[in-house]
């Protein structure tokens, strides 16, 4: 692997999934980093569920408007062409499939692509935010997560141990080791991150997955 940090590897690769003109919702945490890596030759429009389409980068400290924030309640800016709307309109955009792409973090993804990203067993259930709405409604669901927990436990699992966020599977899962796509039969490994071997991915993954034909052709399986 290169010397880059896992989060940077993930965010950089995730940005390549975006297409010119996409309306994109970036989840709090790591997904927000993707905004820094959007290719210069495309224009995307960032939606934040607290009521802004056309979100710009964080302001410098002299230009903070405390009433322009993202879903993490951090100060952000508005771009030319931005619009503000109430929370019901914002979630109508989400559930109504008007958001082309959502990038969200996850605690676990199972081998069918099902996502657990809002709570852990045994803890009082006191916060969900917009995760379930996003899962249910966005056009393309891309999960960004480290391949394993800090303790080395695989996060791509046979079946989620944590409570599911919904019944809609992810379309793409991007980790610092690999890229998976999800089809009707489950996870397909489509890409190894630079310098990563198939053996490393297998060792770090509990879920069963298939190899994309292009990977087989490239000799990754050998």
Partner 1 sequence: MGNDVAKGKRMTAAEALARVKDGATIMVGGFGLVGAPLHLIAELERRGVKDLTIISNNLGEPGVGLGRLLQLGRIRKAIGSFFTSNPDVIEAYSRGELEVELLPQGTLAEAIRAGGAGLGGFYTPAGVGTLLAEGKEVRELGGALYVLERPLRADVALIKAHKADELGNLVYYKTARNFNPLMATAARWVVAEVDEIVPVGMLDPEAIVTPHLYVDAIVLPGQASTPVPKEASQA
Instruction: List the catalytic residues.
Output: 49
**How much is the CA Rg of the chain, to the nearest whole Å?**
18
Identity of the residue, 80 or 124, whose beta carbon is nearer to partner 1 in the bound complex: 124
Identity of the residue, 69 or 173, whose beta carbon is nearer to partner 1 in the bound complex: 69
Q: Cα torsion for 33, 35, 37, 38, to the nearest 10°?
A: 160
Distance of CA 222 to the CA centre of its chain: 30
The closest of 183, 59, 179, 186 to 110, measured between CA atoms, is 186
Q: Is 39 left (phi over 0), alpha (psi -120 to 50) or beta?
A: beta
Distance of CA 205 to the CA centre of its chain: 18
- The SS3 of residue 133 is helix
Nearest distance in Å: CB 70, partner 1: 8
The closest of 44, 24, 45 to 138, measured between CA atoms, is 24
Q: Tokens for 151?
A: 């303790």
Identity of the residue, 95 or 210, whose beta carbon is nearer to partner 1 in the bound complex: 95
Nearest distance in Å: CB 216, partner 1: 34
Identity of the residue, 74 or 197, whose beta carbon is nearer to partner 1 in the bound complex: 74
Residues that bind partner 1 (CB under 8 A): 28, 48-52, 65-69, 71-75, 78, 84-88, 90-92, 94-95, 119, 124-133, 135-137, 163-168
Nearest distance in Å: CB 71, partner 1: 5
């Amino acid at each position: 692997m290169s010397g880059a940090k896992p989060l940077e590897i993930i965010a950089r690769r995730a940005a390549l999934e975006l297409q010119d003109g996409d309306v994109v919702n970036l989840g709090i945490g790591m997904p927000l980093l993707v905004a820094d890596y959007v290719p210069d030759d495309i224009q995307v429009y960032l939606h934040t569920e607290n009521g802004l389409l056309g979100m710009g980068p964080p302001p410098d400290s002299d230009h903070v408007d405390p009433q322009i924030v993202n879903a993490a309640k951090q100060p952000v800016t508005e771009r030319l062409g931005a619009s503000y709307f109430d929370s019901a309109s914002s979630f109508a955009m989400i559930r109504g499939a008007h958001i082309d792409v959502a990038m969200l973090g996850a605690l676990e993804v199972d081998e069918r692509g099902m996502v657990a990203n809002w709570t852990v067993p045994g803890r009082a259930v006191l916060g969900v935010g917009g995760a379930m709405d996003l899962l249910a409604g966005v056009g393309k669901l891309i999960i960004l997560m480290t391949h394993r927990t800090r303790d080395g436990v695989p996060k791509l699992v046979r079946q989620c141990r944590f409570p599911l966020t919904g019944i809609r599977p992810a379309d793409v899962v991007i980790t610092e080791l690999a890229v998976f796509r999800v089809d009707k039969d489950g996870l397909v490994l489509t890409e190894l991150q630079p310098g990563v071997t198939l053996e490393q991915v297998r060792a770090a993954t509990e879920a069963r997955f298939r190899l994309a034909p292009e990977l087989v052709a490239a000799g990754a399986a050998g």
